[in-house]
Amino acid sequence: MHPISYSRHQFPPEIIWHAVWLYLRFTLSYRDVEDLLVERGLDVSYETVRRWVLKFGPAFARNLRRLRSRTAGTWHLDEMVVSIQGRRMFLWRAVDSEGEVLDVLVQPRRDKAAALKLMRKLLKKHGFAPSVLVTDKLPSYGAARRELGLAAHHEQGLRKNNRAENSHQVVRRRERKMQSFKSPGSAQRFLSILSAVYNTFNLQRHLVSRRSLRLFRAAAAGAFTS
């Protein structure tokens, strides 16, 4: 864990991380966070919240990633269309069999080169090759897998990849709330931060007891503030 410095800031760390947590944890705008803080007697402008998210969000995300355990060996890969400044772009995403977001990649094309870039990024980041790859029937995945020489079993089919398809819902909600992403770079940065926060607070509450859920929530909140 790398310590985060809050020096030369008017507000104490507890207020800063709470504002950043509100924005990243829930589908809120900067103005929504400002209103919530006002209800708590804190006069913080939405522009200040925006600067906090840009400055501290990446640091929070890095620390959260260091706390995550090794991902599962089954990787689900998929891509979705996003509009950025009126331009059609593709958001490539990878999740494991537990719903953990492995990585995201914004690319202008939906081809073999983009699939290769995503897979290389995943292999470098996680340090091991998957045992199973699950994708839709886009030929680019198979071509990239062969070029990398991966021995992973490759399963294809739309319904088999529901895990990755469902993971797009979080991005779609944020995209609508933000009224689309402003640039490929800002989309890449924001979605990388969002993925780390989502992984930490994705507790699958339907699989655990209420008592366990309280413990998991406390541990997730502790990881965010540490």
pLDDT tens per residue across all 226 residues of the chain: 577 888 888 899 999 999 999 999 999 999 999 999 999 999 999 999 999 999 999 999 988 888 777 888 999 999 999 999 889 999 999 999 888 899 999 999 999 999 999 999 999 999 999 999 999 899 999 999 999 999 999 999 767 777 778 888 889 999 999 888 989 999 999 999 999 988 888 766 555 566 766 776 777 666 666 6
Q: What are the angstrom distances between the C-alpha of 87 and each of 83, 104, 115, 178? A: 5, 18, 20, 16
What are the structure tokens assigned to 195, written together? Answer: 């993925």
**Phi, psi torsion values for 96, nearest 5 degrees:** -95, -175
What domains lie within the chain, and their CATH numbers?
A: 1-67+184-226 (no CATH), 74-182 (3.30.420.10)
- Closest-CA residue to 136 (of 116, 117, 115): 115
